[in-house]
Structures are given as structure tokens and as C-alpha cells.
């Protein structure tokens, strides 16, 4: 049983003891703190907050608690029902609301749920703002509305279509080329909200499709993290079904991975690389990804004569750097595409439309498109820990060990990253789970995996 409180929200397993899991009492406290922060910030004159949720079976319970608490704080609630993370983000902007709460634990398994917190721009809270929410929650520094000032409740199911329309209106989404390509795709939407919105997007683009795990039941058919080890079903279906492409999203549809027409993984790291290359073909400018993302984005960006920047891991860190440098495209190597022409949030719908536009304009197979990019291999490992483990102390020892080592560049803005001449490894504490993520990249999978395992063995001696 786990409860994780961070600047990005509150996340945990359902059921159990208050203070130790995600349960109604902690949901009330954290939602109250968020509503108090939004009001005190004074950034919006609106009295509405948007609430959307993914397909998790705990969603109705969490939604009811969140909406009731917001109303008790005096806020009017716009419940958009089933909604992807990017749809909820856009709904905040489109409705000119004061903020939004997304009820989703993203790629975590079915027993988890979470509250992701948005500001009035439909973007995740900054570190300072998130810390203030945590302070208010800890101090229980909030007051509820009296009977004459309780909030109202309304349902608005229009935002899926408005989201799709906004994607189709993007200048670089070549709807005509996509329709003429007559693509046939297979989609794994992991029994969550992707099964609701993606058919409508693909219909508008003239793409023929088959869905696996397409019913929004919340009963995830496999581990919902879109990694190769979890995607054997769709890989086999694409290989045997004469598809042009396989499309995989996570439960809240902000992460995106592709399967090549031959049934092999395109590589979730190359989702952003491919979209960035397409965007840079048409618009020059900087790109941004986080420290745990492939070097291929840097290579592609420099090929176009543009500048690449790295940020700390975390969507808000990526978007902050993107705004700082005026990036035309950015995101994360986990399949997260952030396209400022749409909005500053990871959006699988935008990623799908831009990827299909590139594939259609180039008139090639997905495997041929993938082969056109620098070929790196990244190994993604994790070390599971007890919630009481001092991860910061462990990473500090790893930094100390390699600082000053010949041929090694150490970066510590987010955990510890060790850059070697032809490979790198990044070790960092997860924002959402009691684990250390160990990502390593090299010119072969064997070399990348060996580097990651070496670091994991060294960390094991320190735990």
C-alpha cells in the first residue's frame, strides 16, 4: 500500500489506512488544499474547475469525492467525464477555468490512481506552486464554503470533439495526405479512454483501424506502461494482420508508442524523434527533451541546423525549458510529444496526427522511416525500494564515486547522469513510485543493458 505526495499531485494505491494510501480522507484533504491554492493565487477570476478521469475502476469513487470537495470549497465543477489528460488540459483553457484535476495514475497498474493538478493555463503546476499545495495540505490551512456559497455541478461532454477539431486544425497536420495514404492501423488503448476518443480521430483522418483492448472498462489487459515487454499482443497482431502501423497509448493517452508494419517495436524513444524531424522539416527552431531521453533527438535537431536543450525529467520541467528557449517541439523519450502550436502538454492525439502526416508525405513504410534516424539503443531498468529508503543519499554516493573520473561528465540537476563518450546512464528517483529509474543508452542493446546492470549492481551495494 502506497501514498506518494509530490509537487505534481497525489498518487497511491486504493484502499487501506488514511495517510498511507489513496483514500477518501486524503483525497478530500489534498483537493481542499489545491482549491485553496487556486483561490489564493489570484491568477484567474473564474470560479470553475474542470475534472476529467481515465477509465480506472476506482475512477467513479475518486471523481465523486473530488467533485464534492470542490463544491464544498465553493467552486463550480465542470465534469467532462471520461477524458484523456490532454483533453482535460485543453478543456481548462477552452472553458477559461481557474484550474483542473485529472484523475489518472497514467501508466501505473490498475490498483493505483492519482490526482494531477493543473493551473488556469491547463498546464501542470510549477515546483513552487506544487510545494505550496503540499504545505496547505499538511497544515490543513483551508476553510469550506457556507450553505449559500456552495459550488454548482455541471457535465460537459463536448471536449473530446473540440480536442479532435483542434488537432485537425493544426497547420502541419496534413489531413489530405493521410486520407490519400489509406492507412490501416491496429490500436491498443489498454481498456481506457483511448478507446473512446481515438476512433473518432482516426475516422476524421480516413484511417481504417482495428482496436485491441478497446473497451473502456478499466480492467487493463496487460501492464499499462507502453514498453516492448508489455506489448506482445499488438506486435503479433500487426505482424500477422497486414497493417501499416500499430499504435499504443497509455491509460490517459499522453504517452504514445508505435509498432512497425513488420510487428517490431518502432521504439517509444523515437516517437518524439520522428515527430520532431517532421516539424523541423517545416519550421526551424530549438527542441527540448529530458535527460533520460535518447541522443537521437539532439542529432536530428543539429542535422536541421537547430539547437537542442535538455531538461530535468518531468513534464513541467520540459515545458519550462521549452518556453525559455522558444522550442518548436519537445517532449519526453517515454513517447510524450509536446507541440506548442497545440498546447504545452504531452498529447498522443497530436503525436498520432503529426506522425501519420510524416509517413504519408514521405510515402514510405514505418520501418523505412525508423531506419532513417540515428540508431541508439536504450535500456530502461528500475530498482524497487521500500518507501523509507533514502534515495537521495544513494544517488549522492554514486555522484561522488564518478565525479572527476576520466572521460565522464556528471550532471546532477535531476538525480545523477553519467555521460561517457559513446554512451550514458541516468539514475534518478521516480516522482511517482518508490523506485530508482536506471536508463542507459549505447550503440547496442547489449552495451546499454550492461551499463545499466553495472550501475544497478553498484547501487545494490549501497541500499
Q: Cell 485543453 maps to which residue?
A: 90
User: What distance, in Å, lies between the first and last C-alpha atoms of the chain?
Assistant: 21
Going by DSSP bridges, is the β-strand pair 48-53/3-6 parallel, antiparallel, or unpaired?
unpaired
Inter-residue long-range contacts of 294-298, CB under 8 Å, 24+ positions, other chains counted: 294/269, 294/270, 294/333, 294/376, 294/378, 294/441, 295/374, 295/376, 295/424, 295/441, 296/269, 296/270, 296/373, 296/374, 296/376, 297/272, 297/273, 297/333
C-alpha cell at 113: 490512481
**DSSP E strand boundaries for 218-286:** 245-249, 256-259
Known catalytic residue at 106 = yes
* Burial grade of 149 (CB within 10 A; 0-12, 13-18, 19 or more): exposed
The answer for residues whose C-beta is within 8 angstroms of residue 257's C-beta and 6 or more apart is 226, 227, 231, 247, 248, 249, 265, 266, 267, 268, 271, 335
User: Using H for helix, E for strand and C for coil, what is the string for 12-77?
Assistant: EEECCCCCCCECHHHHHHHHHHHHHHHHHHCCCCCCEEEEEECCCCCHHHHHHHHHHHHHHCCCEE
The torsion angle over the Cα atoms of residues 146, 11, 317 and 329, rounded to 10 degrees, is -100
- Distance, in Å, from the CA atom of 331 to the CA atom of 345, rounded to the nearest integer, reads 8
Distances (CA, A) of 307 to 291, 298, 303, 317, 333: 15, 8, 10, 18, 18
Which of 44, 58, 97, 106 is labelled catalytic? 106
- Distance, in Å, from the CA atom of 190 to the CA atom of 4, rounded to the nearest integer, reads 24
Q: Cell 565525479 maps to which residue?
A: 403
- Distance, in Å, from the CA atom of 59 to the CA atom of 55, rounded to the nearest integer, reads 7
What are the residue numbers of the active site? Answer: 106
Amino acid at each position: 500500500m502506497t501514498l506518494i505526495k509530490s509537487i505534481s499531485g497525489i498518487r497511491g494505491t486504493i484502499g487501506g489506512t488514511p495517510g498511507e494510501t489513496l483514500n477518501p480522507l486524503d483525497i478530500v484533504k489534498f483537493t481542499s488544499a489545491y482549491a485553496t491554492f487556486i483561490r489564493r493565487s489570484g491568477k484567474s477570476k473564474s470560479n470553475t474547475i474542470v475534472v476529467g478521469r481515465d477509465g480506472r475502476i476506482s475512477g467513479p469513487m475518486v471523481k465523486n469525492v473530488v467533485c464534492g470537495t470542490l463544491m464544498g470549497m465553493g467552486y463550480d465543477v465542470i465534469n467532462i467525464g471520461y477524458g484523456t489528460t490532454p483533453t482535460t488540459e485543453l478543456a481548462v483553457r477552452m472553458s477559461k477555468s481557474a484550474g483542473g484535476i485529472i484523475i489518472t495514475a497514467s501508466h501505473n497498474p490498475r490498483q493505483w490512481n492519482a490526482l494531477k493538478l493543473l493551473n488556469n493555463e491547463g498546464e501542470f503546476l510549477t515546483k513552487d506552486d506544487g510545494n505550496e499545495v503540499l504545505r496547505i495540505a499538511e497544515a490543513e490551512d483551508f476553510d469550506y464554503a457556507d450553505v449559500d456559497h456552495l459550488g454548482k455541478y455541471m457535465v460537459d461532454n463536448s471536449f473530446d470533439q473540440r480536442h479532435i477539431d483542434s488537432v485537425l486544425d493544426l497547420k502541419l497536420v496534413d489531413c489530405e495526405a493521410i486520407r490519400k495514404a489509406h492507412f490501416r492501423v491496429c490500436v491498443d488503448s489498454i481498456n481506457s479512454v483511448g478507446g473512446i476518443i481515438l476512433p473518432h480521430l482516426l475516422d476524421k483522418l480516413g484511417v481504417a483501424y482495428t482496436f485491441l483492448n478497446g473497451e473502456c472498462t478499466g480492467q487493463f489487459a496487460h501492464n499499462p506502461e507502453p514498453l516492448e515487454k508489455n506489448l506482445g499482443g499488438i506486435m503479433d497482431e500487426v505482424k500477422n494482420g497486414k497493417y501499416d502501423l500499430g499504435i499504443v497509448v497509455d491509460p490517459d493517452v499522453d504517452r504514445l508508442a508505435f509498432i512497425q508494419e513488420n510487428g517490431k517495436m518502432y521504439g517509444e524513444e523515437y516517437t518524439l524523434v520522428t515527430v520532431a524531424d517532421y516539424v523541423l522539416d517545416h519550421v526551424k527552431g530549438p527542441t527540448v527533451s529530458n535527460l533520460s531521453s535518447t541522443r537521437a533527438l539532439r542529432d536530428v535537431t543539429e542535422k536541421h541546423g537547430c539547437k537542442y536543450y535538455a531538461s530535468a525529467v518531468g513534464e513541467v520541467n520540459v515545458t519550462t525549458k521549452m518556453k525559455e528557449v522558444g522550442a518548436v517541439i519537445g517532449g519526453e523519450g517515454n513517447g510524450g510529444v509536446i507541440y506548442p502550436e497545440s498546447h504545452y502538454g504531452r498529447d498522443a492525439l497530436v503525436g498520432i496526427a503529426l506522425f501519420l502526416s510524416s509517413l504519408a508525405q514521405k510515402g514510405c513504410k514505418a520501418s523505412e522511416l525508423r531506419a532513417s534516424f540515428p540508431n541508439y539503443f536504450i535500456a530502461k531498468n528500475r530498482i524497487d525500494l521500500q518507501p523509507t529508503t533514502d534515495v537521495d543519499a544513494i544517488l549522492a554516493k554514486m555522484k561522488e564515486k564518478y565525479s572527476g573520473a576520466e572521460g565522464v561528465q556528471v550532471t546532477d540537476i535531476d538525480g545523477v547522469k553519467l555521460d561517457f563518450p559513446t554512451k550514458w546512464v541516468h539514475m534518478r528517483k521516480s516522482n511517482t513510485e518508490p523506485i530508482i529509474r536506471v536508463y542507459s543508452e549505447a550503440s547496442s542493446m547489449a552495451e546499454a543493458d550492461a551499463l545499466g546492470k553495472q550501475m544497478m549492481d553498484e547501487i545494490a551495494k549501497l541500499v
